[in-house]
Structures are given as C-alpha cells and as structure tokens.
Structure 1
C-alpha cells in the first residue's frame, strides 16, 4: 500500500537513511535532512511491476444453491501490471541555519483488475441488471511536502513538513444488500460508486530531527499525523470513513564505518488500526481488518571513488492483512513483505549526478482459513499472491 522507499538514492538502500542526507527527496522521509543539504534539485523516474493472483474459494452458505465466492473462476492474474514511479524535490538554503524545500512523491496505492468476479453474485450480475461487478479496485495517492529545516548547531537539525495529499479511487466492489431477505433477491450489490473515478484531498504534518552523536554516528527520529483525507462520498456504502494514510513514527541511525562506507538502519511503525475504514474493524463491521505494521530497513552505501558510489539494502514489513480477512481484501492484496534493493550513482561533474536503483520483492502467499467473520467464512480457502519488481533512474543538480 505504501512505497517502501522514496527517491533513487534511498531506494538503492532498502528505503533506509532517515539519518543520512543523500539528496533532496530525503526531506519527504525526514524534513530535518533539509538542514544538511545545500541548494539542489533531484528528479527520478521509474517503473514498478506487481504480479498478483486471486483464487476465490469458499463453501455454499445455508439456503444458497451456489458458493458465495466465485469458485468457478480458478486462479486469476490481475490484468494491470505496470505503473509509473518517481519523485521530484528541491532544497534551498536561506541562511547557514535555515533551509526550505519541497518534495512531490508517490504516496502509495495500486490497482487490480480481474477478468472474473471475486463473488458468484458479482459474476452473475445479481443486483446489477446482469452486468458483472466485484472485480476491480484502483487507489492512487500522491503528496507535496513543503518543508522548512533549522540547523541551530553543527550537530543538530530539525524540520517540519506540511503534507498536501491527493487521492483518487474507483472500484466496482460488491457490498452487502441491506434489503436482502433471501433468494431470489440478491445478497450483494455493486457499490454506489459504480467504478466511477472520485478525487479527494488531504493534509497532514510531519516533524523530524537528526543529531550527530560522534563523527561516526548520527541518529534521527520522525513522527507524522499521517494524511487526513476527505471522505469518498460516492463510496460511502463501501467505506465507514475516509481512506486516510496512517499516523506513523520512526527512528534511524547512520554509522560511518569508514570514510567511504555508510551503514544505515531505520525502524518505522505504521498505525493502520487508527484508520477506521482500513484497520481497526473487521469487514463485517465495515472495515478491512488491517493491523499496525512495523517496518525495518537496512542499507549500505560505499564510495568506490570520488565519482562512483554503489548501494544495497533490504526492507521488511509483515503483511498488514491477517489471514482471516484475506477474502475481504482479495481485490487489493497489499501483502508484500521483503524488498531487496541495489543502486549506484555516478558524479558527472561537481554539480551533476546520475543514479539508478532497482528492487525485487519475492512472492508472498496468504490463504483465508475461513475462521474469521462472515466474509472469511464465506471465502474460506481463498488464496492471494503478490510479487513485485521495479527500478528508477534519476538526476541530481547542485546549484
């Protein structure tokens, strides 16, 4: 759901580097790092390719002539597999102690589109004049983060960002029919949003600090309100509230193992259970059952020469989707856990750098045991999988 990294430099190190000022895009991760950068502009363009499958399974509910899940579809692969990626940021020093900047970065999201429905009633078009539904979800987030950073001493920097968020959403997901009393009426309907695109906006705040404990060790901390979005009015029957991005906090450390080698490690905590529409409630109560998510990132940067540096990293966050809500989340299987990354930078001159990064996220498989709420019981045995890979190229201009 959320990007594991922002910017080509951090993406080469598993998204780690909360306490390391590599380029202007880092102000999106820790606004205090603007105080450790000069005047510069960073831009990166990228691509990501997730492979997702869904195999809907489940029993036949009492009184039904067929299973609730569309078991006839077998394993399906999402028809939409390629997405753009990238970031744009600048930093500018107003004085030796004060810097301003802004970063425009992806906020997460994704899209699945299957040829056949997750539910049998959706496949047969019950409650929708025979037209299939319950097969597609698209959600896209992006943010602009105006930032100010203050460096009161050579050993400490502090920063704050306002998060200006954009989100759009569309889906033809099924919702339960509140008027259902039994067959032949339909137990499900297509959401009132009817797969029409709706746009909303949000706002949030992020603060951070970075401190040098010694010439070899720096530490950092950040905290964010998350991004508070307007409610999707057209999809009120699908979500109990707005699709906020969650509050979060994190800490990081940089260890300069040698004049040419930096080792970075971060820990973050994403509070999905604070977002009513996504976590905190089971699907039968109107949520999607997501759990809070710790995220661990580890990376290394090594300068082979004054002009050439290489990077590698690893990122791990357990799936926020418990097994017993897999069926409810089958159209949005945000279950990736491990990312393995690599990257490099070449300094063309004292002012220009070109960089690249790539990552691979191995396949994760989750199965609904059918032991959860009504949706889990109706979708017991449903299997979702996801793997992903991608990369970026970027330019950095110091002015």
Structure 2
C-alpha cells in the first residue's frame, strides 16, 4: 500500500510508447522492453503471467526517476485571433514544467502446489502529462459579438495549462506448467487512475453541455477543466504463454484486454462518451535465443490499440461538427467535447519492435537494448496534443545486475529516448504551424530478495 500511496502522491509522465512504458521491471527496461520469452524476476509476471512459474520465489522492488523534456513552438500567425481563428501567440519555444517523477514497483512470487505459481505485481504508469506555464493565445471571446479580439495569458488563453494522468496497476498472476517446456498464465488486472485538467475554459463553447443549450444562451460546462483530480477504476485480464522450443530458443505471447474504466464524472465535458478513458488493449510477442553460454539475444514486438479508445483515438477535427463550431460541415451534437464521438487526441495504434541483449559474466549481468516504433500523433492533431505530446519513437537502454549472497540481487537500468518532434498546422488557425518536441531520460534501481 505504501508503494501505491507514493505512486498517487506524485504526478507521472511516462509518455514513452505513447503513454505505455517502454518496459516493466528494471531488467526489462534495460533491454528496451525486450525479453518477454526469457523471464528472470518476479515482476516479469506483469509482462507475461506465464512467467510466474518460470522464475524463483522472490520479492522484487524498484524505484525509478523519470525525466521527460517536453516543449512546443508555434509559428507566427497572420490571423492573430481575427476571423474566428484561435491563435497560439507564444513567443519562441515553451518548455513544460514538472521534469522529474519518482515511480515505485513491487512484485512477489511464490509456488502454489508442485506445478503452479502465483505472482503479485504493483506498478504505475501515466503519460498524458503536461504543465505549461506562460504562453499566450489570441481569440475573440464572444465570437462576432461586441468584444474585440483579445490576447490572453496561457497556452489556451486561460492561464496555466496542462493535464495529469496517473495510473496504478495491481495484478495477481496464476501460472501453470502444462509440460516441461510449455507454461500458461492468466491475471486479473485492476486499474485505478486519476486525472486532472486545467486551463481549458476557452473550449467551453464546443462542449456537448453548452451546445445542447445554445438556443437558450448555452449552459456552463462545469465538468470540463479545473476540477482537481478525479478517480476512475476498472478491471481487465491478461493472459500469456511461454514455450521453451529448444535448449537455446524460447517463444512467448501475452495479451491484455481492453479495460473498461468508470467515467471521470468531473471531466465528462472533456472526454468522449461522457468522461470515458478506457485502457487500450495490447499484444506482445517475443523470442529469445541463447547465442552462447553467456549471451542471450531477445527480439520482441508490441502492438497497442490506442485508436479503439474514443477519448484518445477520436480526431480533434471532430469538433468541427459540433453545432457551435462556425465551420460549414454537417453538424452532430455527439461530436462536441463530451459527446459519444467527441474530439480526442487523434492517436493511431502503435507498433514497437524491441531488440535486447543479456550477457552473464559470473555474478554480474549486463543488459542493453534498442526499440523503435512510430509515434501515434498525426501532424493534423498537434493542437490538442500540446496537452499530451507523446511523440517518442526510440529508446536506447543499458543496465546491470549484481548477485549477492542468499539469492539477493541489486541492479539498475538507464534509458535515453532521443528527441523526436512532430509538426503540423493548427486546426483553429490555418495560418500557423505548431511543433511538438520531446526527449527523455530514466534511471531505475532494483533490489531482489
């Protein structure tokens, strides 16, 4: 419970593969997330439940310090808020605050009978995180009304702007050896998530709540922004298998179902489907090859179904169809913010290939890895993704573990995600472009006993 308390006491920003972490467990992260087919620690049950029967009885704990560096730049606007434009007037490059995040994880494995095992795992992740202080926006606050175009402080003209998503995962994996070479596993996955948004009042007129009452002058969208952290819960399942094909080759498969979460009621005017923010499904496959007695090579692949989650996958351009948007397209109340087809971040599904290496040198194990994926944000979606600039595509990682007496071990992993950017036109001001940038570092220490 102390690990869960620490996870929710500190904002997280794990925008690595979208907002999934590049790995779970320090040794897995040191291999850029590769090694699904070659488990070695209790926390591997969080990657593949079948791993629980394949590792020693142990407890594994870790703490990471994650540092994402996020920024955006807006080109000069010719419209400057006139003609119905919403123009970002920030001069130069603006950096997001909140650059360091501690995150704990813990797992324990024990045998259950002769050929079955259980493993408890807790870990956190997030990634839809930003903290923009400063900046400015120009727009006409009352449309064609008497008030002039105004330039107001904040990324979206309403002061400090940003979002914070935190997610805690609790799993209890059960695994069984079907034969000497084949293991299966399943785990219920309980998720608790918290979300906060601030500085988004400028979009009130594009919410379903407001648009539904536009003929009467609109209704306040009290569940759009500035309501502090709201909580959401849900449960899904993860299942997997591991096959030791030969003395030198092993294969693994794992799948996590889409997890339906309770709605964020305090943000029902922001997220699609009245505040829904479900966890996308993910599928992983891996092969490990023991090239020499000391060297093992891992090749993994992962696919994440972001596009199936309306609040994440719906295009921000859907907002044009909201009846209050002055754009000549067919109108649909459900396309407003908070509607069933409400505007989202427009993220595509993401596929990642991971290559990892493990080298055993006596009591010391060295690990390294590289992963590559296509970031999920399209150039046409950059405006809303100022809030969630998950543009990372590559991870370079390294780590080591040192065995101690009494089956104890300590180690670390170090990750660097090189800078990646995406640039596109602002959907509310066709005269300007916006560029999002991010690079990352992470240092994690673990101890096993």
- Please give the TM-score of this superposition, normalised by the length of structure 2: 0.80
| Gap runs ≥5 in structure 2 | 1-18, 142-149, 320-334, 336-342
SS at match of 1:387: strand
Go from structure 1 to structure 2 and tell me whether the alpha carbon gap of 1:292 and 1:134 turns closer, same or farther (over 3 Å shift): farther
Aligned to 1:345: 401
Per-residue deviation at 1:395?
A: 0.5
Go from structure 1 to structure 2 and tell me whether the alpha carbon gap of 1:316 and 1:12 turns closer, same or farther (over 3 Å shift): same
Q: 2:231 aligns with which of 169, 185, 199?
A: 199
Aligned to 1:145: 171
How do residues 362-377 of structure 1 correspond to structure 2 at under 5 angstroms? 362-370=418-426, 374-375=427-428, 377=429
Asked if 2 retains the 8 angstrom alpha-carbon contact of 1:73 and 1:116, the reply is: no
How do residues 374-385 of structure 1 correspond to structure 2 at under 5 angstroms? 374-375=427-428, 377-378=429-430, 380-385=432-437
How do residues 325-336 of structure 1 correspond to structure 2 at under 5 angstroms? 325-336=381-392
- Equivalents in 2 of 1:323, 1:78: separation in Å? 20
Per-residue deviation at 1:72?
A: 3.7
Per-residue deviation at 1:295?
A: 1.0
Q: Say if 2:281 is the partner of 1:247.
A: yes
SS at match of 2:52: helix
Asked if 1 retains the 8 angstrom alpha-carbon contact of 2:204 and 2:224, the reply is: no
Larger deviation, residues 165-174 vs 61-70: 61-70
Q: 1:49 aligns with which of 58, 64, 67?
A: 67
Q: Whose helix proportion is higher, 1 or 2?
A: 2
Q: Say if 2:171 is the partner of 1:165.
A: no
Larger deviation, residues 351-360 vs 80-89: 80-89
Aligned to 1:25: 43
Asked if 2 retains the 8 angstrom alpha-carbon contact of 1:365 and 1:385, the reply is: yes
- Equivalents in 1 of 2:67, 2:81: separation in Å? 42
- Equivalents in 1 of 2:244, 2:394: separation in Å? 30
Per-residue deviation at 1:38?
A: 2.3
- Equivalents in 2 of 1:51, 1:190: separation in Å? 31
The Cα RMSD (Å) is 2.8
How do residues 68-147 of structure 1 correspond to structure 2 at under 5 angstroms? 68-117=86-135, 119-121=137-139, 132-133=158-159, 135-147=161-173
SS at match of 2:129: strand
Aligned to 1:300: 357
Per-residue deviation at 1:216?
A: 0.6
Q: 1:175 aligns with which of 200, 203, 207?
A: 203
Asked if 2 retains the 8 angstrom alpha-carbon contact of 1:204 and 1:228, the reply is: yes
Per-residue deviation at 1:139?
A: 0.8
Aligned to 1:218: 250
SS at match of 1:258: coil
Aligned to 1:268: 302
Go from structure 1 to structure 2 and tell me whether the alpha carbon gap of 1:354 and 1:229 turns closer, same or farther (over 3 Å shift): same
Aligned to 1:389: 441
- Equivalents in 2 of 1:34, 1:256: separation in Å? 21
Q: Say if 2:357 is the partner of 1:287.
A: no
**Aligned residues, how many?**
386
Go from structure 1 to structure 2 and tell me whether the alpha carbon gap of 1:290 and 1:133 turns closer, same or farther (over 3 Å shift): same
Q: Say if 2:181 is the partner of 1:155.
A: yes
Per-residue deviation at 1:368?
A: 1.2
- Please give the TM-score of this superposition, normalised by the length of structure 1: 0.89
Asked if 2 retains the 8 angstrom alpha-carbon contact of 1:56 and 1:327, the reply is: no
- Equivalents in 2 of 1:75, 1:169: separation in Å? 26
| Gap runs ≥5 in structure 1 | none
Per-residue deviation at 1:152?
A: 1.7
Alpha-carbon deviations, 1:261-312, whole Å to 9, x = none?
111111011011110111044442412210000011110000111x111000
